[in-house]
Structure 1
Amino acid sequence: MKSFLKTALVISAISFAPVAFAVDMTGAGATFPYPIYAKWAEAYKAKTGSNLNYQSIGSSGGIKQIKAKTVDFGATDNPVKFDDLEKDGLVQFPAIIGGVVPVINVEGVKPYELKLSPDTLSDIFQGAITNWNDRRIVLNNPGMKMPDLPITVVHRADGSGTTAIFTNYLAKVSQNWKDAVGEGAAVKWPAASSVGGKGNEGVAANVLRVKGAIGYVEYAYAKKNKMISVSLKNRDGQFVQPDDLTFAAAAASTDWSKVPGMGTFITNAPGAKSWPITGASFILVYKAPENKAKVAEVLKFFDFAFKEGKKMAEELDYVPMPDATTDFIRKNVFTQVNTK
């Protein structure tokens, strides 16, 4: 009888061990990485019992939430400047790499069939090109018949890291865009025919709804919604299609360890195979967090993602952070956070 009771107690302890030490984490911010964070969270909960509640509210919202200390970590695709990190007592590290892709709703056009140069893309979003049969689009696509169809620009209505990546790219490739519109998480969109959408989800929904629309979303949203993406001419003059290989090619030349606060854009990167609108999503945590146990769990969660989440990321066409970069993050960023 005693032997049975002892065995039962041991089985009970093993069964409930993950739950006993489980920690609920909260995060908020970028919609860009939401699909992969959701997948990582599911796997992490299955392994540890700890749950992640992530609010996909946009990068500006994520920065506001972490500064207000209402979440354990903030997420942004618009990296915070090093001086601001220092001022607020925060650290920042990139968690995942992906691509922003222009998506269209033009009947008869196949995926990646439409080719756009940087100037043409900029002129479309600036409202200088207003119809799909404009000669500049036709010049990019000799022999392709484009319809006489007005263009509607779909953009983010909220403060967005996806917008920051997209406008950072446009400002690099078009002096006119840089001077007239600029870059950032929110800009004044100049096209007369335009409509806003909240989150990557909202932009995707509006592009699918409006005939003649063009918008920009993170690649996972384009793929999930079976949207029509375009091919873009990159810095080396090659037309390329978005996928994990072209995102990885764009990120290959970035040495994150040399950037203060690790915050940098990787748009318009060199390389014949590079997707020109590639970006990273960043995590923000306090060096001296109020709830040390929860932030310790956040670091464990991303360490798990770096070690065991690579295949999951690749399945969604994100690019995992390179091992050299995650080693740098563990040794030089995680160590700045006081979780004891």
Structure 2
Amino acid sequence: MTFAKKALTLTTLAALGFGASASAGPNLNGAGASFPAPLYQRWFADLAKAKDIQVNYQSVGSGAGVRQFIAGTVDFGATDEPIKASDAAKVKRGVVQFPATGGTIAIAYNKPGCSLKLTQKQVADIFLGTIRDWKELKCAPGKISVAHRSDGSGTTFSFTNSLSAFSPAWKSKVGEGKSVNWPVGVGGKGNEGVAGLLTNTPGSIGYISRAFVKGSLQSAAVQNKAGNFVKPDLKGGTAALNSIKLDADLAGEDPNPAGAQAYPITTLTWILAYKTGNGSKAGAIRDAFLYILSPKPQGLADDLGYVPLREGILKSAKAAVAKIGS
């Protein structure tokens, strides 16, 4: 199965019956994280109907999204890792960064008849290649095939950041980043590509957004800092997000939250907008982002495999959108 870059184009919108003609409303272009792409695509389709604002979002990965944002070839970028200060300094128009949704990173696997409960050490050891056979995880014996991202990825940053918190061996041998030197496994591009590898490879395991765990794939329960085994669902994700404190740039992370019900691999995902230089599109950009932060779109998050923003984080995100100028 081939997984192309996901894009919500005007043609797609028309074919699905979403939105108006290409000339009716403003057209915005964005690119970046594949992690939230299914939710963004739904939001932008609904936005076209509700506000007559057309958005073309390219799911190219966080690394590519940040590069396009710095280059100024898009109206906004998207990333699962907050933009670095050194990168933000390259954007002469100024950066407005805000979280759009939260999500859990599932340890997804294709092993029928196996119900995985993984300790934090086991998660790290699988991706270090020191656990190689399913029998070591109390499943039917067989070789474990590991899948990971091949492209620069905010999902990879969040996942490896948690692995570094879980395992001193991982931190010293591999560390964290959008791209790392994987000790074992094969790579797929985007969450879509990794999900495809897992679906087509019995006996495989990898990390993907919960939204991509479908069909033959299952999610492992992972032991959290409190010692409880937790699934990557709304309850576990919400408990984890509640522990994240945002800084002045609305960046924040907790790679191993302490809450008793917290799923330990949970992240926010951010949109990057320009503070100035938006011209006549400024109003449409603000309207689009305030729409996705409103109750109905946020209410769709759980149904599509994400964690809605709440209270302080949501209020801060809306305040940031107001800073987007012309």
Same fold (TM over 0.5): yes
Verify: 1:247 aligned to 2:250, yes or no.
Answer: no
Residue 197 of structure 1 is aligned with which of 172, 179, 188?
188
State how far apart, in whole Å, the 2-side matches of 1:131 and 1:293 are. 58
Q: Work out whether 1:100 is the aligned partner of 2:90.
A: no
Instruction: State the Cα RMSD in Å.
Output: 1.9
| 1:221 equivalent among 212, 218, 226 | 212
CA deviations 1:301-336 (Å, max 9, x no partner) are: 1211111312221221312211332322333x2343
> Which residue pairs with 2:163 in the alignment?
170
Answer whether contact 1:82 1:261 (CA < 8 A) is retained: no
The reply to whether residue 260 of structure 1 matches residue 248 of structure 2 is: yes
Go from structure 1 to structure 2 and tell me whether the alpha carbon gap of 1:238 and 1:185 turns closer, same or farther (over 3 Å shift): same
Alignment of 1:4-15 (within 5 A): none
1:8 — aligned with what? none
Residue 263 of structure 2 aligns to a residue whose secondary structure is coil
**Given residue 117 of structure 1, which amino acid in structure 2 is its aligned partner?**
T
1:152 aligned residue: 145
Structure 1 residues without counterparts, runs of 5 or longer: 1-16, 139-145
Distance 2:244 2:234 in 1: 16
What is the SS of the residue equivalent to 2:67? helix
Paired residue secondary structure (1:261): coil
- Kindly indicate whether the alpha-carbon contact (under 8 Å) linking 1:155 and 1:203 is maintained by their aligned counterparts in 2: yes
Is the partner of 2:249 in helix, strand or coil? helix
Of all paired residues, the percent bearing the same amino acid is 38
**Residues 148 and 20 of structure 1: CA distance in aligned 2, closer, same or farther (over 3 Å):** closer
1:65-80 alignment to 2 at 5 Å? 65-80=68-83
Structure 2 residue 66 is the aligned partner of structure 1 residue 27: no
Look up the match of 2:14: none
CA contact (8 A) 2:245 2:253 kept: no
Matched residue SS, 2:260? coil
Does residue 211 (structure 1) correspond to residue 202 (structure 2)? The answer is yes
**TM, length-normalised to structure 2:** 0.88
Q: Deviations over 1:128-158 (max 9, x none)?
A: 1111112xx34xxxxxxx2221111100011
Map residues 281-300 of structure 1 onto 2, 5 A cutoff. 281-289=269-277, 291-300=278-287
Alignment-derived partner of residue 50 in structure 1: 53
Q: Size of the alignment, in residue pairs?
A: 304
Bigger helix fraction: 1
Distance 2:206 2:180 in 1: 15
Q: Report the Cα offset of residue 272 of structure 1.
A: 1.0
The 3 A distance-change label for structure 1 pair 76 and 208 is same
Question: Which protein shows a greater Rg?
Answer: 1
SS in 1 for 2:300: helix
Letter of the structure 2 residue corresponding to residue 48 of structure 1:
K
Q: Distance in 1 between matches of 2:219 and 2:95?
A: 37
- In the other structure, the counterpart of 1:142 is none
Amino acid across the alignment from 2:41 = A
Task: Kindly indicate whether the alpha-carbon contact (under 8 Å) linking 1:29 and 1:57 is maintained by their aligned counterparts in 2.
Answer: yes
Q: Are 1:179 and 2:191 counterparts?
A: no
In structure 2, do the counterparts of structure 1 residues 19 and 323 end up closer, same or farther at CA, with 3 Å as the change threshold? farther
Q: Give the drift of 1:266.
A: 2.9
CA deviations on 1:46-103 (whole Å, 9 max, x unpaired) are: 1121111000010001001111111100000011134542453212111000100011
Q: TM-score, normalised by structure 1?
A: 0.85
Q: Which amino acid aligns with 1:215?
A: G
* SS of aligned partner of 2:157: helix
> Aligned to 2:259, which of 250, 254, 271?
271
- On the 8 A contact 2:145/2:205 being kept in 1, the answer is yes
Given that 2:195 and 2:212 are in contact with CA atoms closer than 8 Å, whether structure 1 keeps it comes out as yes
Partner of 2:6: none
